[in-house]
């Protein structure tokens, strides 16, 4: 069943069940996304994809809101632009964006300032390097939830990570902060595969960034006992 | 983030799932692996081995220079330098650094010409002296289709022998033979991703979460998101049991009674799909007679599974709209492995749960290219395409393809892997070519295997590390791993996919197919023949040559499989591939029922050896460990552990982490114990990846009469307390939280 | 970590094992009641018994303020630091108690087995500065005093319909007089009961003011193999304490309302989700439920009490569902709505305590009589919670349409004869009114016309001497503490807002803070995922309109 409605002043059509984000993409309208991922459940939590729908007081997350007949949608109204800019500025004041090129680009696009919030508390964390496969740098974590979800029932059903703290102090964590090998983690790297920033990174990539050479990396931890004769 | 120089799409070299890997390369060094979320095989998911376990490519112990034993460079004969009275040869793992007292058995680095000439000289010499029966080759279920095709071709075309085999013999041989007999094919009938269409599915003899992790994810999705009901039939409480509707914990080796009892229930309770039985099968009556004794009560007595559970499982499977069976080594690796698999096939025949989407008979193939290696005829009874070697028409086809004189190829069935070694003596097999296999870890009864290896006159090892088998070789030819060559793998659900080189071969290593073709030319020149084509300019030519005779691969070109691969049979160039087999008929026509009987495992427990030892694998490691013990994977699972049930542990005074000796009539290992309910009472489990505690020292080389597969899944052992100082590496202690 | 004796744990959590995940919060409460806190080994045991993943159990412990993952006393003194208590030096009380027992806030005195901590609003804004002393799951009058704690509130106003039995001791079933309204309802069809509620014009009393009849109709019509009714007794809005009074003094009124709701939609199971800071109400409700059971009112329908663990967000309906399901209290995206996909994904009616208390009234009187109370658009009686600088803080029941001046007078007017500076309507998630608004009728529609929310009925009074910056600072801390952390605008916005309000309260706003507060405030208001974020800035934004100079840099 086709639905017709208005987006940014022009008439667009959608199939029953499509989201506003789907329709925007099909029509070349760029709506930014951060937490959204094609392979994870959409949680509509970053709110950067919000759009203004006439008749609704609160801005609507286009990644989950389904297209409806006769909707009037504005993807770049003043309210929308203000919300996006402020969200980006808050992100910049909270976390390390150096490994999030997409967001840095967004900041330029929305005229967001990196220094908008003086004396703002940041979410900082020491790099957790507790296993040979991947490294966790939660200073770069956007709390997009993708890693928790793919470890849970979006993909892996392993449930090795969840959250600690609440509100601004939320952080991704293992059971009582145990090192990864001591958790149920099977090191499948599904989490690394969906992380939008460098918060989760293959260890080899991390070591190269630290300036180690391939040869140096290849001899790490390869000291094995001599074989018994 | 590091920006890669290039990202190369290839296929994972570990298990039969065949996940798509995107290799990110910087300065000829892979630093990261990703996978596309729309991959039809793995949907954006990988396991620890595929995602992170490629680092063995760069391990300092990797060999990239050809090596030969000093005695050969000195022009001596092995009989001049024999190692001892009982062994012609020693086992040497490293280049010697003892300049002062060189031994004839030292490994010495050399150039390709020297090494290949020595190989060609010695193989030709032995062939001319002793004939075809003295020649044997282990092809490689990890190498590409192209690698395997040319190697089996070389041995058949040049040495006129069918002593060609590979590790499928130790794996799904039972399943393959049963399927061949019952339906005339030997692969999964459906695809693994169709599990989400199953209403009911049985998982038996497969610890899927650890051995086909991505298929396990799809099974879990089927249960959690599509309402499927899973029945696990396994002596161990594997991870899948948490999501299973039923778990039937049978004693190892009692598959035939349990599944035959299920068949009995289906017949007795009139749940048979008579349409299917009448129109698609034959020999039902003989089968029916043999089924009488397999009542659920009879099965309960033998297997320990409650009769009521057998009934319930049978009803679930039979009354489902779409049901499938997925199985692994627990079915095949028995001295009655063929019968074991046959019992499963009967269930599908009775209910019609085969030949439709969302159903099937699905043996989960282990190696990344065991399906392909088998398809390429790396087996003693079959040419590529499963054409029997003892069939003159088949012989004719291949003689034409390989430009061999009429009647030149051998009609004689060849020896299987264990038989090849069993015949390693004067008058038997004298020369063995091992491509990427490690019988010194994978064969049963390793002390005996060692003895056989020591009797061979000439051994060539073509590999990337000096593993336990290559350490016995006379010549070591450094081959390239998957990331340094082009070719194809065929995964467990018959999907032929591209393998692509991420960077050029390290050191002097060369792709396997190139090495083989080089040797083949040298042998031809020594034999004074010039028959088959060996001068392939690229691996695709090899695939096309094979496809010109093997109709399953006829429509496969690199172009056609460029993005997502193709599921064979692909009989012609426009054919889209065949995910679901047997929709109209079976390759042999009708499916054949077979009368079965219960054959117990060869070695029963007794007072001296009261435990059943079952062996298997771990998520983090692969088989003999050549790759994974030379990778960071080893750090996350550094030691072998024996799994023992709390009830047994308590009786024997064993606590978690205690060192114990596990002993069979054939050998012993010393490992720490893990006390866990992952195993059942009376059954203990050992993984077979660890050379310092090789489980196959204990296993029984009793073979299935038809498939010749050894009984890895059941032998009798005893457990004794041991001391910390007895452990091979006491300071290495496993500390993981995963199940 | 020394040896924790797990042998006591098994019997305590045994009854939760068949519940699985939904039994997680009750199991954690039971465990903490034994150990005073939740050590790793205890968490692991619970994880195994209830088959909940380890990391998830840890995540739940971490989310709720009243679950402790480090050693904590079995005795806990909580002192409120929110606005109403701030007016009466709650900060000083905390300091004094810490000095008395020689511990820092959040610290534990090992010998005394006592922890003292600041707390968000305890629902005792009429008895300030408020303090809650607990020993395990039991509220006691004071530390070391082995007497049960039961706060009493003044109940006044022009009506005594909802509060007929309030203001004294707990009303027994006998005194209450039996569930006559329920019997009346059962003689009607479900559809008729729903129609009656619709006709009454009753809207939710928890703050969102959604038409109750429409909610019930949605759930009645929804398809599901099980349906649920839930009483939202998570009253945590600073300034609100009416539900406390209703439940303590007249539990059967609410329970009868819940039974009628269950009948109307065809629910077989009900929950009362009560905030963890009301432990003294739990035994009262349990007793009332046994009385109701004994009288046969709970056949084919039973009610389970679920105790929260310190999370204001769990008053949001979908977060409440998550909490009942044994998870962190993250609100869900709506649609789908609770009437079709509520707790456990099933059709659910969730109503505030006061809303449910109106239901027996409506069934007894009939919708037509009921509508004679109040105004056309805001029918019925309403409870207002008066707190702050008033002479007689307490619960006042009036008909909708009473003016602010009238209600203030009922409460004795501003304390010490001072002039009124402002009134906070609606609680922390509300807005400020001034003396200008004294004659506005307290109805939804009248207040809305002045940009003021009626909310749950909070009327917090500030006299002319009060520094509003201190009030705003406390509100800022409240929201930052209570934000669940899921959506970006609120997770980060409440923190940024708090930081700026801290500066403002010190008299040191920075250049650009005014616009920052506006941007952050409006972003939260426009783009947050749930009502908490959407109202986290409303008091601040209204204050910025009324007193802009407070936020500007002094030159």
Q: Which chain A positions have a beta carbon within 8 Å of B689's beta carbon? A: none
Q: Which of C42, C527, C530 to mutate to test the interface with A (most CBs of A within 10 A)?
A: C527
Interface of B with A in 198-227 (CB under 8 A): 213, 217, 220, 224-225
C101 and C48 belong to one structural domain: no
Answer CATH for A1-122 from 3.80.10.10, 3.40.50.920, 3.10.20.740, 3.40.50.10860 = 3.10.20.740
CA distance B255 to chain A (A): 29
Question: Where does B611-726 sit in CATH, by number?
Answer: 2.40.40.20
- Beta-carbon contacts of C166 under 8 Å, excluding residues fewer than 6 positions away, are C155, C245, C246, C249, C250, C395
Q: Say which of B44, B619, B735 has its CB closest to residue A39.
A: B44
Same fold for the domain at A1-122 and the one at A134-218? no
Interface membership of A221 toward B (CB under 8 Å): yes
- Domain B173-363: state its class: alpha beta
Please name the helix (run of DSSP H) or strand (run of DSSP E) that holds residue B215, with its range, or none: helix B213-226
- Chosen domain end from C148, C180, C207: C148
- Beta-carbon contacts of A108 under 8 Å, excluding residues fewer than 6 positions away, are none
C70, part of any domain: no
Is C339's pLDDT higher than 60?
Answer: yes
Average pLDDT over residues C164-189: 96
* pLDDT-above-70 percentage for chain B: 100
pLDDT value of position C2: 59
pLDDT class for A221, splitting at 50, 70, 90? low
pLDDT class for C4, splitting at 50, 70, 90? confident
What three-state secondary structure class fits A224? Answer: coil
What residues does B204 pair with on adjacent strands? B233, B327
Nearest CA in chain A to B39: A39
C287 and C356 belong to one structural domain: yes
* Residue C82 half-sphere exposure toward CB, CA atoms < 13 A: 33
Distance CA C443, CA C434 (A): 17
Please name which of B488, B8, C488, B620 lies closest in space to residue A47, comparing C-alpha atoms.
C488
Question: Where does A134-218 sit in CATH, by number?
Answer: 3.30.70.20
Interface membership of B32 toward A (CB under 8 Å): yes
Convert the pLDDT of each residue in A180-220 to its tens digit: 999 999 999 999 999 999 999 999 999 999 999 999 999 88
Q: What length is written for chain C? A: 555
Question: What are the residue boundaries of the structural domains of chain A, listed by start?
Answer: 1-122, 134-218
- Chosen domain end from C339, C371, C403: C371
C550 by Cβ neighbours in 10 Å (0-12 / 13-18 / 19+) ranks as: middle
Structure tokens belonging to residue A132: 């040979």
B544 by Cβ neighbours in 10 Å (0-12 / 13-18 / 19+) ranks as: middle
C186, part of any domain: yes
Q: Say which of A45, A82, A184 has its CB closest to residue C519.
A: A82
pLDDT value of position A1: 83
- Chosen domain end from C63, C93, C112: C63
Longest dimension (CA), chain A: 80
Distance CA B665, CA C238 (A): 76
Please name which of B108, B104, B102, B100 lies closest in space to residue B81, comparing C-alpha atoms.
B104
Structure tokens belonging to residue B315: 């009803």
Interface of B with A in 37-56 (CB under 8 A): 37, 43-48, 51-52, 55
Domain carrying residue C45: 6-63
pTM, to two decimals = 0.96
Count of structural domains, chain C = 5
Q: Which contacts of A217-225 are long-range, i.e. CB under 8 A and separated by 24 or more positions?
A: A217/B58, A218/B55, A218/B58, A218/B59, A218/B60, A219/B60, A221/A132, A221/B632, A221/B635, A222/B59, A222/B60, A222/B61, A222/B630, A224/B629, A224/B634, A225/B692, A225/B728, A225/B729, A225/B732
> Cis peptide before C335, with omega less than 30 degrees from 0?
yes
Q: So what's the ipTM on this one?
A: 0.96
Q: What is the average pLDDT score of chain C?
A: 96
User: Check: CATH 3.30.420.40 for B67-166+369-481+503-526?
Assistant: no
Is A225's pLDDT higher than 50?
Answer: no
C199 and C317 belong to one structural domain: yes
CA distance C488 to chain A (A): 5
C268 and C162 belong to one structural domain: yes
Convert the pLDDT of each residue in A25-61 to its tens digit: 999 999 999 999 999 999 999 999 999 999 999 999 9
Backbone φ and ψ for C443, nearest 5 degrees, come out as -130, 165
Q: Which chain B positions have a beta carbon within 8 Å of A134's beta carbon? A: 52
Ramachandran sector of residue B91 (left: φ over 0; alpha: ψ -120 to 50; beta: rest): beta
Average pLDDT over residues A107-132: 96
Is A224's pLDDT higher than 80?
Answer: no
| The B200-204 sheet, strands edge to edge | B246-248, B229-233, B200-204, B323-327, B360-363
What residues does B10 pair with on adjacent strands? B21
pLDDT value of position C408: 96
CA distances from B604 to B607, B682, B683, C51 (A): 10, 12, 12, 37
**Token pair 């130790």 in the structure block, residue:** B170
pLDDT value of position A222: 59
Q: Which chain C positions have a beta carbon within 8 Å of A121's beta carbon? A: 495, 499
| The B487-490 sheet, strands edge to edge | B487-490, B495-499, B566-567
pLDDT class for B466, splitting at 50, 70, 90? very high
Is C37's pLDDT higher than 90?
Answer: yes
Interface membership of C41 toward A (CB under 8 Å): no
C458, part of any domain: yes
Average pLDDT over residues C343-347: 98
> Cis peptide before C65, with omega less than 30 degrees from 0?
no
C450 and C527 belong to one structural domain: no
Contact B499, B487 (CB under 8 A): yes
Angle value at C-alpha B567, between B564 and B571, nearest 5 degrees: 120
CA distance A200 to chain B (A): 11
pLDDT class for B361, splitting at 50, 70, 90? very high
Average pLDDT over residues B338-349: 98
**Token pair 């062939």 in the structure block, residue:** B127
Distance CA B82, CA B123 (A): 19
C442 and C390 belong to one structural domain: yes
C278 and C187 belong to one structural domain: yes
Please name the helix (run of DSSP H) or strand (run of DSSP E) that holds residue C531, with its range, or none: helix C531-535
User: Check: CATH 2.20.25.90 for B6-58?
Assistant: yes
CATH number of the domain encompassing residue C107: 3.40.30.10
pLDDT value of position A227: 56
C189 by Cβ neighbours in 10 Å (0-12 / 13-18 / 19+) ranks as: exposed
> Cis peptide before A103, with omega less than 30 degrees from 0?
no
Q: Say which of A157, A181, A188 has its CB closest to residue B47.
A: A188
C360 and C473 belong to one structural domain: no
Is A229's pLDDT higher than 80?
Answer: no
Backbone φ and ψ for C80, nearest 5 degrees, come out as -75, 140
Q: What is the average pLDDT score of chain B?
A: 97
**Token pair 């995940």 in the structure block, residue:** C21
Distance CA B707, CA B724 (A): 41
C207 and C350 belong to one structural domain: yes
pLDDT value of position B98: 76
What three-state secondary structure class fits C351? Answer: strand
C376, part of any domain: no
C331 and C352 belong to one structural domain: yes
Distance CA B276, CA B272 (A): 9
Contact C160, C176 (CB under 8 A): no
Ramachandran sector of residue B184 (left: φ over 0; alpha: ψ -120 to 50; beta: rest): left
Structure tokens belonging to residue B228: 């499927």
């Amino acid at each position: 069943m086709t639905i017709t409605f208005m987006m940014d002043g022009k008439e667009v059509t959608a199939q029953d069940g499509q989201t506003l984000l789907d329709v925007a993409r099909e029509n070349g309208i760029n709506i930014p996304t951060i937490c959204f991922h094609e392979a994870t459940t959409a949680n509509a939590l970053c709110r950067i994809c919000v759009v203004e729908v006439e008749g609704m007081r609160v801005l609507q997350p286009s990644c989950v809101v389904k297209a409806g007949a006769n909707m009037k949608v504005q993807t770049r109204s003043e309210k929308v632009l203000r919300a996006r800019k402020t969200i980006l500025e808050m992100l910049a004041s909270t976390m390390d964006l150096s490994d999030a090129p997409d967001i840095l680009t967004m900041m330029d696009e929305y005229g967001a300032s990196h220094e908008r919030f003086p004396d703002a508390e940041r979410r900082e964390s020491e790099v957790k390097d507790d296993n040979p496969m991947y490294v966790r740098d939660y200073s770069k974590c956007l709390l997009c939830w993708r890693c928790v979800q793919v470890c849970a029932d979006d993909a892996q059903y392993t449930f090795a990570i969840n959250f600690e703290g609440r509100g601004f102090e939320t952080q991704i964590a293992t059971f009582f902060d145990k090192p990864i090998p001591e958790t149920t983690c099977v090191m499948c790297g599904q989490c690394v595969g969906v992380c939008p920033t460098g918060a989760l990174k293959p260890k080899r990539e991390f070591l190269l960034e630290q300036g180690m050479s391939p040869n140096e990396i290849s001899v790490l931890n390869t000291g094995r006992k001599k074989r018994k004769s | 983030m590091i920006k890669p120089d290039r990202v190369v799409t290839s296929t994972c070299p570990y298990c039969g799932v065949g996940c798509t890997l995107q290799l990110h390369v910087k300065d000829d060094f892979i630093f990261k692996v990703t996978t596309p979320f729309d991959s039809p095989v793995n949907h954006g998911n990988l396991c620890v081995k595929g995602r992170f376990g490629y680092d063995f490519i760069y391990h300092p112990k990797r060999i990239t220079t050809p090596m030969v034993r000093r005695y050969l460079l000195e022009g001596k004969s092995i009989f001049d330098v024999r190692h001892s009275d009982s062994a012609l040869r020693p086992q040497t793992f490293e280049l010697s650094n003892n300049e002062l007292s060189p031994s004839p058995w030292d490994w010495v680095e050399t150039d390709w010409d020297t090494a290949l000439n020595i190989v060609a000289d010695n193989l030709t010499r032995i062939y001319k002296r002793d004939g075809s029966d003295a020649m044997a080759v282990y092809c490689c279920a990890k190498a590409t289709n192209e690698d395997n095709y040319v190697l089996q071709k070389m041995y058949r075309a040049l040495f006129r022998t069918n002593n060609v085999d590979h590790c499928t013999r130790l794996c799904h041989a039972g399943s393959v033979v049963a399927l061949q007999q019952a339906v005339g094919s030997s692969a999964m009938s459906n695809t693994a991703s169709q599990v989400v269409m199953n209403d009911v599915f049985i998982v038996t003899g497969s610890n899927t979460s650890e051995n086909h992790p991505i298929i396990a994810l799809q099974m879990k999705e089927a249960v959690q998101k599509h309402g499927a009901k899973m029945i696990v039939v396994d002596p161990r409480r594997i991870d899948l049991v948490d999501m299973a509707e039923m778990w039937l914990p049978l004693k190892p080796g009692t598959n035939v009674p349990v599944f035959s009892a299920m068949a009995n229930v289906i017949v007795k309770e009139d749940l048979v799909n008579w349409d299917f039985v009448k129109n698609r099968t034959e020999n039902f009556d003989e089968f029916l007679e043999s089924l009488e004794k397999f009542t659920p009560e009879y099965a309960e007595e033998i297997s320990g599974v409650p009769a009521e559970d057998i009934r319930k499982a049978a009803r679930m499977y039979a009354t489902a709209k779409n049901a499938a069976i997925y199985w692994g080594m627990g079915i095949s690796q028995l001295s009655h492995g063929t019968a074991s698999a046959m019992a499963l096939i009967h269930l599908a025949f009775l209910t019609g749960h085969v030949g439709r989407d969302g159903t099937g008979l699905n043996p989960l193939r282990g190696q990344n290219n065991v399906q392909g290696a088998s398809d390429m005829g790396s087996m003693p009874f079959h040419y590529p395409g499963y054409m029997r070697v003892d069939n003159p028409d088949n012989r004719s086809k291949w003689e034409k393809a390989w430009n061999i004189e009429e009647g030149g190829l051998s009609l004689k069935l060849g020896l299987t892997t264990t038989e090849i070694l069993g015949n390693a003596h004067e008058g038997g097999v004298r020369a063995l070519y091992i491509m990427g296999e490690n019988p010194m870890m994978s064969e049963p009864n390793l002390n005996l295997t060692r003895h056989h290896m020591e009797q061979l006159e000439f051994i060539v090892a073509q590999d990337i590390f000096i593993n336990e088998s290559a350490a016995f070789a006379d010549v070591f030819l450094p081959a390239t791993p998957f990331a340094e060559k082009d070719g194809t793998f065929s995964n467990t659900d018959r999907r032929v996919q591209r393998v692509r080189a991420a960077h050029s071969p390290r050191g002097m290593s060369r792709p396997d197919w190139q090495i083989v073709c080089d040797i083949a030319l040298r042998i031809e020149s020594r034999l004074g023949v010039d028959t088959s084509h060996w001068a392939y300019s690229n691996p695709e030519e090899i695939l096309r040559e094979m496809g010109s005779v093997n109709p399953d691969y006829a429509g496969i070109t690199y172009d056609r499989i460029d993005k997502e691969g193709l599921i064979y049979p692909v009989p012609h160039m426009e054919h889209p591939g065949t995910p679901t087999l047997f929709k109209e008929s079976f390759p042999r026509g009708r499916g054949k029922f077979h009368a079965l009987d219960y054959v117990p495992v060869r070695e029963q427990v007794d007072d001296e050896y009261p435990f059943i030892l079952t062996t298997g694998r771990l998520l983090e490691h692969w088989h003999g460990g050549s790759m994974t013990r030379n990778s960071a994977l080893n750090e996350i699972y550094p030691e072998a552990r024996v799994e023992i049930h709390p009830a047994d542990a308590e009786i024997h005074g064993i606590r978690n982490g205690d060192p114990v000796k596990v002993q069979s009539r054939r050998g012993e290992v010393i490992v720490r114990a893990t006390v866990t309910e992952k195993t059942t009472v009376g059954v203990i489990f050992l993984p077979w990846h660890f050379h310092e505690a090789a489980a196959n020292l204990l296993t029984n080389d009793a073979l299935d009469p038809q498939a010749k597969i050894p009984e890895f899944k059941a032998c009798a052992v005893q457990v004794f307390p041991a001391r910390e100082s007895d452990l091979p590496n006491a300071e290495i202690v496993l500390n993981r939280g995963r199940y | 970590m020394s040896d924790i004796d797990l042998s006591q744990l098994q019997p305590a959590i045994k009854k939760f094992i068949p519940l699985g995940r939904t039994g997680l919060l009750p199991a954690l409460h039971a465990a903490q009641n034994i150990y005073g806190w939740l050590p790793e080994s205890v968490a692991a045991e619970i994880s195994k018994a209830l088959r909940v993943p380890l990391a998830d159990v840890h995540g739940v412990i971490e989310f709720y303020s009243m679950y402790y993952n480090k050693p904590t006393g079995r005795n806990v003194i909580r002192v409120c630091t929110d606005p109403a208590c701030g007016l009466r030096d709650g900060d000083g009380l905390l300091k004094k108690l810490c000095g008395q027992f020689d511990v820092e806030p959040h610290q534990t005195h090992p010998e005394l087995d006592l922890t003292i901590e600041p707390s968000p609003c305890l629902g005792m804004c009429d008895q300030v500065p408020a303090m809650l002393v607990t020993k395990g799951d039991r509220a006691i009058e004071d530390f070391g005093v082995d007497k049960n704690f039961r706060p009493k509130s003044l109940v006044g106003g022009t009506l005594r319909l909802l509060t007929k039995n309030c203001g004294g001791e707990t009303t027994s079933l006998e005194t209450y007089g039996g569930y006559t309204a329920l019997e009346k309802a059962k003689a009607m069809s479900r559809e008729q009961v729903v129609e009656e509620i619709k006709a009454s014009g009753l809207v939710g009393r928890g703050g969102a003011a959604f038409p109750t009849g429409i909610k019930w109709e949605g759930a009645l019509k929804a398809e599901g193999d099980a349906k649920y009714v839930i009483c939202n007794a998570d009253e945590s809005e600073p300034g609100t304490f009416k539900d406390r009074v209703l439940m303590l003094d007249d539990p059967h009124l609410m329970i009868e309302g819940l039974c009628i709701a269950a009948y109307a939609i065809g629910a077989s199971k009900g929950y009362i989700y009560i905030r963890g800071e009301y432990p003294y109400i739990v035994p009262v409700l349990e007793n009332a439920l046994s009385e109701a059971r004994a009288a046969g009112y709970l056949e084919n329908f039973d009610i389970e009490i679920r105790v929260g663990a310190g999370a204001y967000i769990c008053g949001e309906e979908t977060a409440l569902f998550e909490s009942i399901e044994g998870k962190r209290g993250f609100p869900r995206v709506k649609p789908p709505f609770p009437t079709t996909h509520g707790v456990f994904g099933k059709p659910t009616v969730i109503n505030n305590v006061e809303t449910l208390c109106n239901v027996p009234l409506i069934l007894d009187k009939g919708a037509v009589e009921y509508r004679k109370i109040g105004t056309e658009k805001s029918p019925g009686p309403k409870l207002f919670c008066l707190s702050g600088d008033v002479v007689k803080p307490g619960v006042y029941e009036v008909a909708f349409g009473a003016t602010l001046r009238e209600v203030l007078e009922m409460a004795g007017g501003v304390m010490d004869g001072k002039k009124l500076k402002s009134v906070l309507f609606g609680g922390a998630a509300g807005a400020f009114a001034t003396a200008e608004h004294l004659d506005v009728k307290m109805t939804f529609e009248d207040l809305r016309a002045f940009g003021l929310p009626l909310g749950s009925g909070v009327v917090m009074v500030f006299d002319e001497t009060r520094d509003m910056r201190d009030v705003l600072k406390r509100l800022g801390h409240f929201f930052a503490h209570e934000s669940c952390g899921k959506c970006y605008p609120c997770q980060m916005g409440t923190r940024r807002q708090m930081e700026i309000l801290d500066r403002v309260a010190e008299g040191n706003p920075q250049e650009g803070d005014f616009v920052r507060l506006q941007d952050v405030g409006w972003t939260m208001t426009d783009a947050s995922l749930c009502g908490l974020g959407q109202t986290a800035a409303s008091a601040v934004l209204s204050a910025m309109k009324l007193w802009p100079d407070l936020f500007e840099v002094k030159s």
